[in-house]
Amino acid sequence: MAREPIPTSGYTAADFRRRIRHREPYDRVLVVCEGITEKHYFDGLVFFLGLSSANIEIIPSRRTDPIDVVRFGIKLAKDAQRSSDAYQRLYCVFDLDRPHTNALDLAAAMKQRLTSLHLATSNPCFEVWLRLHLGYTDRAYTTVGNNTACDAVCDELCRQEPRYKKGAEGLFRLFEAKVSSAVRNGHQLEASNRRTGSSNPSCTVHELVQDLMNLKADNST
């Protein structure tokens, strides 16, 4: 059976470029992410929430190792601060299916006067966050043969949403109606992880998404 096309109207790169970039009176936020799938998701989310792209910048890292994502984010934040246009918040989005302790240590050691650093991580990969849009799960994902744990997440995601294609520009449209559910499921998974001590799967992306959802209200108080 042929896959249905991913709907992209309203969430294409051209739409983002056409949107007039006005700086709004809420925080300036930088999201540095590991890959293009994450960028397309957050571009769509920013558009969906009606946030200004002058306030919210989504930038993929030049390299995908967790330490490189954090280093790149810190560099961009420092550059912005030196140009007197500091970000108030920096979020680094990366997967935990590769060595990452040094990235966590670097993030913990970061001290910048104007920019707070936050991590949005997924184990084994970002597709755990997408999977939480389709219902709660705390089932562990493991490597079997040549299929990695991330492959297992992607396979399950595609079974539930056959139109999903990793890296597709319009992918956010597949999940937009379920963002609030995903945030609730993310909190539930986080609570389960604390209770059981498990970290497979785990995901803190809901914290970033919730922060973006609340951004306008947070800055109006």
pLDDT tens for residues 17-57? 555 578 899 999 999 999 999 999 999 999 999 999 999 99
pLDDT at 2 over 70: no
Any idea what DSSP says for residue 55? T
Tokens matching residue 147:
């299929």
Q: What is the pLDDT of residue 88?
A: 96
At residue 117, the 3 state secondary structure works out as strand
The predicted model gives 96-109 an average pLDDT of 86
What gap in Å lies between CA 180 and CA 210, rounded to an integer? Answer: 8
Any idea what DSSP says for residue 3? P
Domain presence at residue 11: no
Domain presence at residue 17: no
Domain presence at residue 13: no
Q: Which residue has the higher pLDDT, 146 or 109?
A: 146
What gap in Å lies between CA 132 and CA 137, rounded to an integer? Answer: 7
Q: What is the pLDDT of residue 96?
A: 94
Q: How many domains does the chain have?
A: 1
CB neighbours of residue 101 within 10 Å: 9
- Alpha helices, DSSP H only, in the chain? 13-18, 36-49, 66-82, 101-109, 127-132, 149-160, 179-196, 205-213, 215-218
Confidence of residue 104 (pLDDT cuts 50, 70, 90): confident
- Supply the range of the domain harboring residue 113: 27-218
Domain presence at residue 6: no
Any idea what DSSP says for residue 5? P
Domain presence at residue 19: no
Domain presence at residue 18: no
Domain presence at residue 46: yes
Distances (CA, A) of 99 to 64, 112, 118: 11, 25, 18
Domain presence at residue 85: yes
